[in-house]
C-alpha cells in the first residue's frame, strides 16, 4: 500500500502508524492491486482531484482519512471508488489497519454516521429521479439484493455467508459478478447503486 497526504507531517504520521504492522506492505507508489491511503483535512477541489486521480488508477483501491466532509461530497467519493473512509480523529493504528485490510479485500468500511448520511442522500436522489425516463438499469437478481442488503448493514463476508447459509466463496462470487456486470468499483459503490435504483 502507498500513503499520500496533503502535507508531509500527515503522510509521515500515517506511515509511522502503519509501519508497525507486518500485514501492511508499505510502498512508495500506487499500482495494480495496491491500496492507496489519502490523508486530507477536508475535501477542497485540489484534494478531490488528488482523490480521483489515485482512486481511478488501474487496480488501486482507496482509503480516505479526512477531518470533515460535506454531505454533497459523499456520493462523489463512493462513485470515485473509495471503499473505506476514516475520520482523522478516529485514525488510530488499529483503525487504519482495519480500513486498509477491508479495502484490500474489496469490502466497504464507512463510519456509521457516514453510512446513514449516504443512505439518506441516495434515498433522496432516488425519490427525486423516480420520474426520469430513459433506458432501464440492468436489474439485480434476488440473491444479489439479499447480499447487498447485508453489506449495507455493515456485515462482512463471513457474517453474510452465515446469515444467508451460503459459503464465503458464494458471497464473494455474487459480489464480484454484480460489480463486474454493472461496472461498479467496490462493495460501497454496489450498495450506492442498489440504493439509487430502489433495490434496498
Q: According to the model, what pLDDT value does residue 160 have? A: 92
- Percent of the residues in the chain that have a pLDDT greater than 90, as a whole number: 8
**In this model, does residue 134 exceed pLDDT 50?**
no
Query: If pLDDT is split at 50, 70 and 90, which confidence band does 131 have?
Result: very low
CA count, 13 A, side-chain hemisphere, 198: 9
Give the model confidence (pLDDT) of 79-116 as tens digits: 777 878 999 999 899 999 998 888 888 887 888 777 77
Q: Cell 504492522 appears where?
A: 21
**In this model, does residue 55 exceed pLDDT 50?**
yes
List CB contacts of 12: < 8 A, sequence separation 6 or more.
none
Query: If pLDDT is split at 50, 70 and 90, which confidence band does 56 have?
Result: low
Which segments of 45-183 does DSSP mark as H helices, in order?
Answer: 45-55, 74-80, 93-105, 112-129, 142-152, 157-164, 168-181
Q: How far apart are CA 110 and CA 17, in angstroms?
A: 20
Q: According to the model, what pLDDT value does residue 122 have? A: 63
**In this model, does residue 74 exceed pLDDT 80?**
no
Q: How far apart are CA 83 and CA 150, in angstroms?
A: 16
User: Is 40 in contact with 6 (CB distance < 8 Å)?
Assistant: yes
Higher pLDDT among residues 124 and 11, named by residue? 11
Amino acid at each position: 500500500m502507498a500513503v499520500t497526504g496533503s502535507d508531509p507531517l500527515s503522510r509521515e504520521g500515517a506511515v509511522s502508524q502503519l509501519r508497525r504492522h507486518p500485514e501492511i506492505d508499505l510502498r512508495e507508489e500506487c499500482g495494480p492491486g495496491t491500496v492507496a491511503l489519502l490523508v486530507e483535512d477536508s475535501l477542497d477541489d485540489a484534494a478531490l482531484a488528488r482523490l480521483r486521480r489515485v482512486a481511478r488508477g488501474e487496480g488501486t483501491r482507496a482509503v480516505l482519512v479526512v477531518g470533515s466532509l460535506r454531505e454533497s461530497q459523499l456520493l462523489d467519493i463512493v462513485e470515485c471508488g473509495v471503499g473505506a473512509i476514516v475520520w482523522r480523529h478516529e485514525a488510530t493504528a488499529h483503525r487504519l489497519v482495519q480500513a486498509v485490510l477491508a479495502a484490500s479485500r474489496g469490502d466497504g468500511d464507512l463510519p456509521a454516521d457516514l453510512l446513514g448520511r449516504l443512505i439518506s442522500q441516495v434515498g433522496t436522489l432516488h425519490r427525486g429521479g423516480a420520474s426520469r425516463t430513459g433506458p432501464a438499469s440492468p436489474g439485480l437478481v434476488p440473491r444479489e439484493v439479499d447480499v447487498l442488503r447485508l453489506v449495507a448493514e455493515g456485515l462482512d463476508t463471513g457474517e453474510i455467508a452465515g446469515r444467508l447459509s451460503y459459503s464465503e466463496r458464494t458471497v464473494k462470487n455474487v459480489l464480484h459478478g454484480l460489480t463486474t456486470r454493472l461496472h461498479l468499483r467496490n462493495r460501497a459503490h454496489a450498495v450506492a447503486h442498489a440504493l439509487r435504483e430502489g433495490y434496498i
